[in-house]
Amino acid sequence: MKIVVVGGTGIIGKKVVERLSAHHEVIAVGRTNGQHNVDVTDPASIRSMFAKIGHFDALISTVGDVHFAPLSEMGDAEFRVGLNNKLMGQVNLVLIGREYIRDNGSFTLTSGMVSGEEPIRGGASIAMVHAALEGFVKAAALELPRGVRMNIVAMTIVEETMSKALKEFPALADAFSGYEPVLTSRVALAFQKSVEGIQNGRVYRVWGSN
């Protein structure tokens, strides 16, 4: 399969690229790194990326900035970061990518563990964006034509990010206090299952027992 991984140069995306490259032609796309570049907040940039890459069998998205901060420090601008980037960035990858995906292809997006059911301190915007993304995937998957499928992976914090947060971003590490970080290799398996399997409209939850 020809697989495009948008965000394929990031912590999670790199592991997904590594896992799938053994059996597929994988194209890693980043904002500034990677084989191709795109800014997912700009539909014209997404169009230009697909025009260069051409038709593909699977698109994986492991992108998405969301503002993480206490609610008392969040206003309209802070909430719009997640809406423009993680939410509409990924939705537009699907809307524009529809024109380039082959029959029986698949889209796999990224949300995360943080949600209304699993809130963390500073995570209001993150929970909002994840709920919207999962609603989109479950509903839109049923309307995709030509046998095209769509799923989404919701992971907790991965070990690399937790190690980095402990050194550079203690508020993030504190917000995940008591949660078991997962291996990035385990997260990559969920993306593989989505691409190589037959399921549609599913949310793959990758986190520990707590």
Residue numbers at the binding site for ligand NAP (CB under 6 A): 7-13, 30-34, 38-41, 62-65, 85-86, 110, 112, 155, 157-158, 161
Residue nearest to ligand NAP (CB): 10
Give min distance, CB of 35 to ligand NAP, in A: 11
Give min distance, CB of 178 to ligand NAP, in A: 15
For ligand NAP, the closer CB: 85 or 106? 85
Give min distance, CB of 156 to ligand NAP, in A: 6
Question: Please, is 27 exposed, middle or buried when counting C-beta atoms within 10 Å of its C-beta (0-12, 13-18, 19+)?
Answer: buried
Give min distance, CB of 170 to ligand NAP, in A: 15
Give min distance, CB of 104 to ligand NAP, in A: 26
For ligand NAP, the closer CB: 108 or 143? 108
For ligand NAP, the closer CB: 17 or 148? 17
Give min distance, CB of 11 to ligand NAP, in A: 4
Instruction: Identify the DSSP state of 10.
Output: S
Distances (CA, A) of 185 to 12, 15, 169, 177, 188: 8, 6, 23, 22, 5
201 token code pair = 């409209």
Which 3 state secondary structure label does DSSP give 31? coil
For ligand NAP, the closer CB: 112 or 198? 112
**C-alpha Rg value of the chain to the nearest Å:** 16
**Helices 43-53 and 88-97 sit at what angle, rounded to 10 degrees?**
40
For ligand NAP, the closer CB: 103 or 117? 117
195 token code pair = 């691409």
* Cα–Cα distance, 191 to 102 (Å, whole number): 18
* Cα–Cα distance, 6 to 36 (Å, whole number): 9
For ligand NAP, the closer CB: 71 or 183? 183
